Structures are given as C-alpha cells and as structure tokens.
Amino acid sequence: MRRVVITGMGPVTPIGIGVEAFHKAQLEGKSGIRRITRFDASQLPAQIAGEVDINVEAYIDKRELRRLDRFVQLALIAGELAIKDAGLDLDREDRTRIGTLIGSGIGGMESFESQARVFVERGAHRISPFFIPMMIANMASGQLAMKYGLMGPSSTSVTACTTGADAIGNAYYVIQRGDAEIMLAGGTEAAVTPMAMGGFGVMKALSTRNDEPEKASRPFSASRDGFVLSEGAAVLVLEDYEHARARGARIYAELVGFGRSADAHHITEPHPEGLGAKLAMEAALRDAKVGPEVVGHINAHATSTPVGDRAETLAIKKVFGERAYQIPITATKSMTGHLLGAAGAAEAVASIQAIASCILPPTINLEDPDPELDLDYIPNTPREKKVDYVLSNSFAFGGMNASLLFKRV
C-alpha cells in the first residue's frame, strides 16, 4: 500500500477563506454565524446561518457563474486554493494520474428551488437548460476536473454529513491502490436556502437563538438547542508520499487511517450509546495499525444537538476508556456552524493544522458545560500542545459514520 500525504488545503468557510485566514480565525475563537442575508428569513423559526463572505467573480468568470450552482462555485474556489497551496505545477504533471473526489450532501439546492419557482410560475418551457447539470451532486468533481484537465479517477460521495470525510477517505484508497498519484478531495455545500432552512427547521434540528447568532452553535453546553446550518467548501490535495517527496512538496501530515460504520438505528438520531461512532473510530485505528493510546487530539463531529453531543462523548469513552479524559477535544462547528457535506473536509483541515502548528483550537461558547459531558473540550481558548495523531469524526443522518486519522510526518 502506498503512503498518502496532504500537501495542499483550500478551506472556504464562514470564518475564513484560505489556510491562513481559516487557521487564524480558529485560534481567535471567531464565530461565523450571523443573521441570514441571502434571502428574507423573517418567517422562519431559525433566521441565522453561517454564510461565506466572498466575491466569487474574483475567482470565476461572470459568464460562467450563471451556469454553476453556488455549491460548485465554492468547490472550484476551494480547489484553486488547494492547488496553489500545494505548489502544484500542473503543466509538469501527468494529468491522467490526477483525480477529483468532491462530495456534496445536498447538491444544487439553490438551483432546484429557483427552477421549481420558474416551473410553477412560467411553465416547463422556461426551465433553464443548465438546470440539471447545475443541480446534480457530482458536478463539483466534474467541473473541477474540466477546469484543470484532470483525467484521473473522478467521483463523488453523497453521505449527508459524513460526505467530506468519506470523499477524503475514498480518495485515500484510490492513491493507496496506485490508481492515481494525486487526488483533489473534499466536500462542498450551499444549502442556506429557504427550503433547506425550512425543512431542517420543522424537524426542530436548528438552533433558534436568533438574537445571539454568534452564541447559537454551542457544542457540549447544557443550553445547546440545535445545530446552525452553514455553507462552505474545503478541498485537500492528497498525494502519494514518494511523488510528493520527488517534487519537493511541503507535507502537512499523513493520512494513515479511515474507518466507516453504520448505526443501523434511526433516520436522524445517532445510536444513544454511540455504538456506530465507536466502530468508526476503532476502524480508523485498525486501518492505521495503531492503538488508541497514540491519539493526542480529537476533532469532534459535535453539532450542538442534545442527542448528538451526548452520543459522541459516550463513544469516545468506549474507545479510549479512562484515557478519554486526557485527550483534548475541539468542536470546530462551534465557530463555523455545520457545513453539512463540507463539514468533514473543513474539519480535516483544522485537524491537520493542529498537527502542523502545535496549537489546538478551542470549542467556543462553552460557558455552561453539560454536567453529563465531562471530557476535555478545550473551552473557549486555544491550547499549545504538540500532538502526533489527530482523529477527526463525522456522523450523519441515516446513521452513517466516518473517522479519519492524521499523523505527523
């Protein structure tokens, strides 16, 4: 099996765009949650979200933008940032050996809603001919491959909130098998739309702390009342270790373990004892051929829902036993909100940055800890600590679970 390393990263998030801005915002404990500006949300129960403040025309030609849903736009920007960060000169590479694996949990929700209105109000003949290729979830991978002429394996993952982690893990397998030397992998989501906000709202899944947006996402707090929906993207450059060394690439970290499982329990709620999450973490450790004692930090899925945070805490205790109390844990979503299909990829970036910088980012808004959740969640301020292994968790509706294990090189 080939070794797989991370040589480039491109986060596009509500708290920062690009590796430096994203990392700085984490260490400052910045919240990206605000009242929604992209549409009138005044009639919705939840009127807050994590929106990406970006001028897309600075990255993508204005004429092309009309043919791309926002989830694809964000993925293309993230891909461009990741390629530049990796120092990749594509003219010197064999583009048949570079692939794309960008996932989206929902796909072109904005296009779906706008074209549905056109259909109802003006008839089928007025639907845009670009509607279907704007909406389908694989188009982020497809458009990224077309933009750069990448002819290696191209695919997508659609596994709700584990999508970003699954995409990275599946790309890891592609390189391990020798089917590509480089993969652009990650997730993208642009579901801060009226129907998505309304749909999650009627499920009672969203925080309704509309008067204090910055404090609404509060994992592990006794007063948590639901997650905050966000948009964003993150693309990582995964590369064969020997190929990276041969071109003199900077290596952020090595991906050494990927584990997946199913709760087989409920369409939206995690297993109450965290059994599926436990299996995914154990599978990642087993894939890396290491024991739980090596893990120095965990980037938790931690959505700020009452049942989710509890189940993940129980799962961590089952995997690590008494040592669970000694492992610092970060909930990135306390700052970014929940990027759905992009969350696992953005949190992979945060996990890798924790290894590279020797600073562990905080869980903000942890002002009233839930007494039942008693692990070390790095409350409110970052912590300097050198760690060699970081575990990043992602769990999803449908009972899907994924864990990625990164290692210092």
pLDDT tens for 391-409 read 999 999 999 999 999 999 9
* Beta carbons of 389 and 406 less than 8 angstroms apart: yes
pLDDT, the chain, mean: 97
pLDDT above 90 for 344: yes
Element (H, E) at 189: strand 182-189
For residue 161, indicate whether it is catalytic.
yes
> Catalytic: which of 161, 183, 280, 354?
161
SS3 48: strand
Mean pLDDT on 134-162: 97
Nearest to 219 by CA among 336, 350, 364, 14: 364
What single string gives the DSSP state of each residue in 323-383?
A: GGGGS-EE-THHHH-B-GGGHHHHHHHHHHHHHHHSEEPPBTT-SSB-TT--S---BSS-E
Q: For residue 145, what is the DSSP state? A: H
Compute the C-alpha angle 346/350/356, nearest 5°.
140
pLDDT above 90 for 273: yes
For residue 245, the model assigns a pLDDT of 98
Candidates 3.40.47.10, 3.40.1710.10, 3.30.43.10, 3.40.800.20; correct CATH number of 258-407?
3.40.47.10
For residue 172, the model assigns a pLDDT of 98
Domains 4-246 and 258-407 share a fold: yes
Mean pLDDT on 278-282: 98
pLDDT in tens, 169-216: 999 999 999 999 999 999 999 999 999 999 999 999 999 999 999 999
pLDDT in tens, 53-90: 999 999 999 999 999 999 999 999 999 999 999 999 99
- Whole-angstrom Cα distance, residue 257 to residue 169? 8
- Whole-angstrom Cα distance, residue 23 to residue 29? 10
Angle between helices 343-357 and 19-28 (to 10 degrees): 80
Per domain, the residue ranges of the chain are 4-246, 258-407
Nearest to 347 by CA among 390, 400, 408, 398: 390
- Whole-angstrom Cα distance, residue 279 to residue 294? 17
For residue 86, the model assigns a pLDDT of 98
pLDDT in tens, 81-129: 999 999 999 999 999 999 999 999 999 999 999 999 999 999 999 999 9
Nearest to 50 by CA among 222, 187, 209, 190: 190
Compute the C-alpha angle 74/77/82, nearest 5°.
125
pLDDT above 90 for 1: no
| Token pair of 367 as six digits | 């002002």
Nearest to 365 by CA among 338, 332, 390: 332
Q: Which residue has the tokens 């912590």?
A: 383
Maximum pairwise Cα distance, the chain: 64
What single string gives the DSSP state of each residue in 239-251?
A: EEHHHHHHTT---
Task: Fold for 4-246, please state it.
Answer: Peroxisomal Thiolase; Chain A, domain 1 (3.40.47)
Mean pLDDT on 36-40: 96
